[in-house]
Structure 1
Amino acid sequence: MTSVIREFQDADFDGVAALWLAAGISRPWNDAGKDIAFARPDPHSTILVVEREGAVAATAMVGEDGHRGWLYYVAVDPRYRDLGLGRAIMEAAERWLSARGVWKVQLLVREENEAIRHFYEHLGYRDTRTICLQKVIGETAG
């Protein structure tokens, strides 16, 4: 069975939102629709999807801020785990950043998510021993 990696299309919305829920990366305080809409029109960000059997099987929201690349919403449909789709979407996101001249990429992992932390470490990601601070500054902030 072949998989295709491509950029998000409008018709992907329901599949992407369902995948994020099934993969356990959605949070009640993050509006998937708002996050998708915010990432799409900007040339500094995109959402990549792996399409398999006509469905969204994996995703990565990728962007760059002029200094670093960032990855969000990296997810693989539980039905398609252990097929290499996580590695494939990560490599596609890194290629997207490299094509824009970005040489450093970061992502956030919830502290309790040991399994995914090991996955990223296997791909060469390391704990930078930094603390991420956040402040919500308006209704449109997520």
Structure 2
Amino acid sequence: MSDAVIDDVTAGSWRIRPFAVADTEPVVALWRAAGLVVPWNDPYLDIERKLTVQPELFLVGESDGVLVATAMIGYDGHRGWVNYLAVDGSRRGEGLGARLMAEAERLLAERGCPKLNLQVRSTNAGVIAFYRSLGYRVDDVASLGKRLIPDAP
């Protein structure tokens, strides 16, 4: 993937690029600040795991050299997924999340992905409204999960 430089009306330029190992601490800090880290998911292990599967689909957004957004994207040959979409709280409302989602959609469509799924906590009305504004709808399904490898004791 080539770096995409996108004009940012509020602060010069903003760039989407693949994650680099040096981004680990800023990424984890962003995820923590965004409330995405939960006790049963170790963010460091999630990063480690992602780097073994489609690492080119782990994106970060930076503005003036500062990491301000992330998206962890995957495609299993049937559906695409986006996890850990996060934008720095001071930069929300500037369209960075929408731009990152557009890049995720582009990368998945390029791979022949017919549908993109994502999960949002049902209590997070603001994030659900954000995704609805991008054309997503709530699917009438129950999301089930089973932990195969525990991250925490």
The alignment's TM-score, normalised by the length of structure 1, stands at 0.93
Partner of 2:45: 34
- Range 5-14 or range 43-52, more displaced: 43-52
The alignment's TM-score, normalised by the length of structure 2, stands at 0.87
Q: Which runs of 5+ in 1 are unaligned?
A: none
- How many residue pairs align between the two structures? 141
Give the distance between the partners of 2:48 and 2:150, measured in 1 at CA. Answer: 15
Give the distance between the partners of 1:93 and 1:9, measured in 2 at CA. Answer: 17
Runs of 4+ in 1 over 6 A off after TM superposition: none
Question: For 1:47, which of 33, 55, 58 is the aligned residue?
Answer: 58
1:44-103 per-residue CA deviation (whole Å, 9 max, x = no partner) reads 862111011211111110001110000100110001111110101101111111111112
Give the distance between the partners of 1:72 and 1:57, measured in 2 at CA. Answer: 16
Matches within 5 A, 1:1-142: 1-43=12-54, 46-139=57-150
Secondary structure at the aligned position of 1:4 is classed as: strand
- Range 61-70 or range 42-51, more displaced: 42-51
Q: Which runs of 5+ in 2 are unaligned?
A: 1-11
Let me know the Cα RMSD of the aligned residues: 1.6
State the percentage of identical aligned residues: 44
- Range 3-12 or range 47-56, more displaced: 47-56
